């Protein structure tokens, strides 16, 4: 599952090792990336979207391995059986009624998942933050009574999903508490807030976060992680294309 909503929000307990004073933006982001990388993970949870159609909830089960590979399977509602597979190079969609797996590329990656405020990219994007973003420390700020670094990330290439990101990073747990995604001119695209965190294997991760797509009217999506296991043994076969249709 994605850095932002799973791995990224996982935080190493060694966060406290990070020198509190004099940390540079690069160091903070490197620590954030380091703290959010697992060898493997398995999680379950649900996504609730509230918009003009009412409130919809979809449960999911997710597996992740390494920096690039993840699989999400929806387990309830109209989307039951749909799967999203992210590999290092591609994103595949599996639909139960289709006998062909659909490979998404380019702009299609920014389409909404289940009509929620989350895009495919939001859910699955991997990678080294510092390799694609230039980080600047803007200062410190309290968010929900938690002291945070405020770091601004500016995309190095135009292919990045968001030209700028502003992250509020919990200084104690090195976990993102709030994020704002915007165009290079500063126009807001999305906002994310972590509402509740939980501790797994000594790391603090987001349990419940809320995402608002600022381009949609009266819509927000909440994502709940109900269970999370990390660093467990996962077979590569789980992430095989041929395995999508189980």
Rule CB under 8 A: which residues touch other proteins? Answer: 51-53, 56, 78-79, 82, 93, 95, 97-100, 102-103, 111-116
DSSP 11: B
Give whichever of 20 and 78 is closer to other proteins, judged by the CB atom: 78
Give whichever of 152 and 220 is closer to other proteins, judged by the CB atom: 220
Q: Phi, psi at residue 6, to the nearest 5°? A: -130, -75
Residue 228 CB, nearest approach to other proteins (Å): 25
**Number of Cα atoms under 13 Å in the Cβ half of residue 38:** 31
User: Rounded to 10 degrees, what is the CA torsion of 119, 191, 36, 46?
Assistant: -60
Give whichever of 164 and 221 is closer to other proteins, judged by the CB atom: 221
Residue 80 CB, nearest approach to other proteins (Å): 11
- 26 closest CA partner among 100, 97, 143, 130: 130
Other beta carbons within 10 angstroms of residue 40's beta carbon come to 16
Residues forming beta bridges with residue 181, ordered by sequence position = 165, 190
Residue 74 CB, nearest approach to other proteins (Å): 10
Give whichever of 99 and 145 is closer to other proteins, judged by the CB atom: 99
Residue 116 CB, nearest approach to other proteins (Å): 8
């Amino acid at each position: 599952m994605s850095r932002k909503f799973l791995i990224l929000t996982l935080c190493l307990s060694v966060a406290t090792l990070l020198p509190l004073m004099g940390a540079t933006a690069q160091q903070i982001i490197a620590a954030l990336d380091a703290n959010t990388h697992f060898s493997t993970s398995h999680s379950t949870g649900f996504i609730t979207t509230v918009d003009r159609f009412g409130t919809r909830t979809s449960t999911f089960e997710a597996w992740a391995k390494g920096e690039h590979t993840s699989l999400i399977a929806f387990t309830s509602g109209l989307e039951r059986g749909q799967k999203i597979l992210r590999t290092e190079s591609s994103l595949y969609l599996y639909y139960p009624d289709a006998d062909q797996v659909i490979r998404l590329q380019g702009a299609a990656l920014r389409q909404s998942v289940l009509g929620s405020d989350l895009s495919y990219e939001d859910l699955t994007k991997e990678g080294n933050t510092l390799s694609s973003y230039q980080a600047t420390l803007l200062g410190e700020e309290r968010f929900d009574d938690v002291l945070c670094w405020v770091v601004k990330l500016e995309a190095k290439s135009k292919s990045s999903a968001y030209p700028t990101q502003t992250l509020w990073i919990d200084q104690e747990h090195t976990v993102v508490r709030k994020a704002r995604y915007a165009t290079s001119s500063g126009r807001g695209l999305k906002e994310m807030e972590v509402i509740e965190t939980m501790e797994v294997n000594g790391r603090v991760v987001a349990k419940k976060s809320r995402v608002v797509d600022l381009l949609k009217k009266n819509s927000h999506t909440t994502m709940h992680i109900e269970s999370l296991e990390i660093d467990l043994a996962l077979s590569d076969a789980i992430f095989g294309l041929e395995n999508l249709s189980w």
